[in-house]
Each structure stands twice: as C-alpha cells, then as structure tokens.
Amino acid sequence: MSLVARDVSIRFGGVAALSGVGVEVSAGAVQGVIGPNGSGKSTLFNCLTGFARPDSGHVSVDGTDLSRVPAHRRIGLGIARTFQTPRFDPRVTVWQAVACGFSPVASAGLLSSALWLPWVRARERRVGEGVARLLDRFGLAEERHTQIGELSLGHVRLVEVARAMAMSPRYLLLDEPAAGLGEGEQRLLADELRRLASEGVGVLIVEHNFDLVLDLCDRILVLSGGRVLLDDHPGTVAADERVRRIYLGYAADEDEEVPAS
C-alpha cells in the first residue's frame, strides 16, 4: 500500500522543476522531502496531490493511476494535504475549521439536519468529540473560540494539520508544517505524526527543519536542482557529505565549520 511518484518530470517554461524524480509514501511510514530553495519539493508535492500535472512519469495510489484524477477527487481516495500558506477564512473559529475536516465523511442531508433527527444528533456528538480530541492533542483547546485571523501563523498551521487529520486520510502530505512553531510545538507535531504513522497512515513531510526531519522520518528524499540527490534512511542522509554541506555548512571529514556556499 503506497502513494507513488515514478520518473516524474515537469517543466515551467525554460525551468526543469523536476527531472525523473520518484518517491514512495508507504502506509505506516514517514517520508521526508528536503532540499534547497527551488529544488522542486513543492512541485513534487503538487504532482502527488494533483495541483500540478507532470509532463511525463506516473503517480499512483495503492496501484490506481492518478494521472486523470483531479485534486479534489484525490481526497476521496484518502489523500489529504496541507498548504505552505494555509487556506482558511480568517473569520472562522479554530473549532469550526477543524470540524470542517469531519464534514465530507459525515455530512447529513438538509432535511435530516433541519429535523434534528437522532442520528444527526449522534453524528454531531461524534464530530464534537473528535474536534475536542484533536484540539487537545495539538494544544489548541484554549483557542477553540479564537478566529483563525487572530492566530499566529504557526498555530494556523497546526489547525490545518488537525483539520487534515479529521478527514481520516490514508496518506497525509504536509508542506512545511513546522515553520513558525516553537520547539515544544514541533515535538508535539512530531509525536502526532509518529502516532498517525503507527496507525498505518502514510505521511509525507516537506520541511526545511533538518533536525525535525532527521528525528521524525523513516526515509528522506533529498532533491537538488529538480533531481534526486539521495533517498535513504536518516542516518545515511545525515552522514552524506553533500547533504551536510547544504544543511550544516561543513563536510563530514572537516573538524572546522565553514560557511555553506
């Protein structure tokens, strides 16, 4: 069971954003994607989620070809995503934003809702319990009545992750979810993602925070100039001289730290 991109290439005018890139998001594992600015991370993410169409190559989920499946229908196939810049109406509250995630799988008809039938009440109660649980997990319970527009960007990102989890995805793809979070919040996020993976969800995370990625991921894909530099276990990636130059500013065999070029 996996979400897979194989040999994907895509150009924007004269720019080769991706050239023959592959990645596999396996059920129950956390796959990281790192690389310098402009290396193609977001483009790969967009190809997996249907927001960009590869010029060549294949994207599939659990063996089903996704090339003709638009972004909004990929949610129905169990693929949820977050955005680098979260997309919320700033007037909705934290509670409402997370509750939205439950709606697609539990929507009641208009008439049933208007009549407030017992099963509608039971469903509302389940959604309420689910929202409360997610807000607790992400340390957002005290902000449940706060409007999104009043939150820090870091917390808006957490709300977005909580909303995506509310959709009960089989694959969860996160675009820089830790940007703007404090250390404690990053740990909390990492714990939640690990827990999710332990429940069988496949997680892909694009993230600039190298330490977080090393700590969290089972495998890490390193992109450079739209090509795969490396796709391996964290220990191997952390020891790779090219990666160390990019992220740590020094090579494995150098004692002295030197500035990255």
Q: Which residues bind ligand ATP (CB under 6 A)?
A: 12, 15, 17, 35, 37-43
Cβ burial of 208 (10 Å; 0-12, 13-18, 19+) is middle
15 or 122: whose CB is closer to ligand ATP? 15
Least Å from the CB of residue 64 to ligand ATP: 25
| Residue 47 or 165 having the CB closest to ligand ATP | 47
CB of 63 to ligand ATP, least distance (A): 27
Query: Residue 85 CB, nearest distance to ligand ATP (Å)?
Result: 11
How, if at all, do strands 219-224 and 227-232 pair? Answer: antiparallel
With beta carbons less than 8 A apart as the criterion, state whether 88 and 159 touch. Answer: yes
Q: Whole-number minimum distance, CB 56 to ligand ATP, in Å?
A: 16
The beta strand positions in the chain, using DSSP E, are: 2-12, 15-26, 30-34, 56-61, 64-65, 79-81, 171-175, 202-206, 219-224, 227-232
| Nearest Cα residue to 218 out of 33, 19, 17 | 33
17 versus 162: smaller Cβ distance to ligand ATP: 17
- Residue type at 157? R
Q: Which is nearer to ligand ATP, 97 or 213 (CB)?
A: 213
